Amino acid sequence: MIDVIAIVGPTASGKTALSIELAKRLDGEIINGDSMQVYRSMSIGTAKIEPDEMQGVPHHLLDIKNPEESFSVAEYQQLVRGKISEIRSRGKLPIIVGGSGLYVQAVLFDYRFAEEPFDEKLRGELHAELERFGPAHMHRKLLELDPESQIHPNNTRRVLRAIEIARSGQPKGERTMALSPMYNELIIGLDISRDVLYERINARVDDMLARGLLEEVNALRSRGIRDVQSIQAIGYKEIYAYLDGKLPLEEAVTQLKQNSRKYAKRQFTYFKNKLPIFWIDALQDLEKNIRQIQEVMQENDRDRRIEYFERKITD
């Protein structure tokens, strides 16, 4: 029997509609799998589900943090594992839904986080790499390890510390991670052509603006919220730049769309390299996707299920 389902995919790929229908069919409850949707007062820019869209399906770990507060992968891991136990104790099926691959990976697999002190040799190597290649190179390195990181590229100290944490918490090779599941999980990935996805992303940004993204960001700014983890999220940092007079609105929107597309590409890369996923076509009929998922759930042997259904998505 499947212990937990995760539905992953890039932004704007259709995770919400699929998750709601699946939860209704399977008597499930949904757990937020997006690192930014934990924040209150940040709904439009994070594409957070609206209460009237939930169709009576319970949702967990939305709006649990103030924008000024930090939120780590380790904290998420602890919270979600607790929610999984709670939901299963009621005889319901936990369904994690979101695009934050590292967060999902940390929950479903034996992903451990190093404590202080960190490896001094690693720390020295990173500082030497910083001196040789510069801050921009180190920030790109961090995004390869943690695509969801919201640390500003200019905050070199935090960038280096985050790399240390990611490197120290990484299992010894991807194979070790893949062979150390915490649950009998099924990870469903939404595959979608890049052209269609990028059109959806551009349209979503336009819709966010029409729904009041500028007003949402300005409200945060008026509260004096800046230079914190949440405001580095895509959709907020670009609008902050506009409101601070650093960019014209047109350029800020262009950057928002471009950064969203780049993030989607990083999400795909992470999913296909780090997680054992059963991929379905996001553009095909919803009923067909539901039937495919129900069929794969009949295979109770995890290794056979993954071996049979896993396939690589194409760039």
The yes/no answer on whether domain 4-112+171-309 falls in CATH 3.20.20.70 is no
Look up residue 147 and give its two tokens: 């695509």
What is the DSSP secondary structure assignment for residue 313, as one 8-state letter?
P
**Residue 12 annotated as binding site:** yes
> At 218, is the pLDDT very low, low, confident or very high (cuts 50, 70, 90)?
very high
Tell me the per-residue pLDDT of 163-211, one tens digit each, with 9 for 90 and over: 887 776 544 333 334 348 899 999 999 999 999 999 999 999 999 999 9
pTM for the whole thing?
Answer: 0.80
**Residue 100 annotated as binding site:** no
> At 234, is the pLDDT very low, low, confident or very high (cuts 50, 70, 90)?
very high
**Residue 172 annotated as binding site:** no
> At 161, is the pLDDT very low, low, confident or very high (cuts 50, 70, 90)?
confident
- pLDDT at residue 25, rounded to an integer: 96
Tell me the per-residue pLDDT of 100-158, one tens digit each, with 9 for 90 and over: 998 999 999 988 765 544 566 777 788 878 877 888 889 988 888 888 777 878 888 88
**Residue 10 annotated as binding site:** yes
Cβ neighbours for 18, distance < 8 A, ≥ 6 positions apart: 7, 188, 190, 286, 289, 290
Q: So where are the chain's domains? A: 4-112+171-309, 120-169
Q: Does pLDDT of 303 surpass 80?
A: no
One-letter identity of residue 21: E
**Residue 13 annotated as binding site:** yes
Q: Give percent helix, percent strand, percent coil of the chain, each to the nearest 5.
A: 55, 10, 35
Phi-psi region of 212 (alpha: psi -120 to 50; beta: other; left: phi over 0): left
Q: Does pLDDT of 238 surpass 90?
A: yes
- What burial letters (b/e) apply to 112-146, b meaning 16+ CB within 10 Å? eeeeeebeeeeeeebeeebeeeeeeebbebbbebb
Full strand arrangement of the beta sheet holding 59-60: 59-60, 28-32, 93-98, 4-8, 185-191, 278-281
Q: Does pLDDT of 63 surpass 70?
A: yes
**Residue 16 annotated as binding site:** yes
What percent of the chain is modeled with pLDDT above 70? 89
- pLDDT at residue 174, rounded to an integer: 36
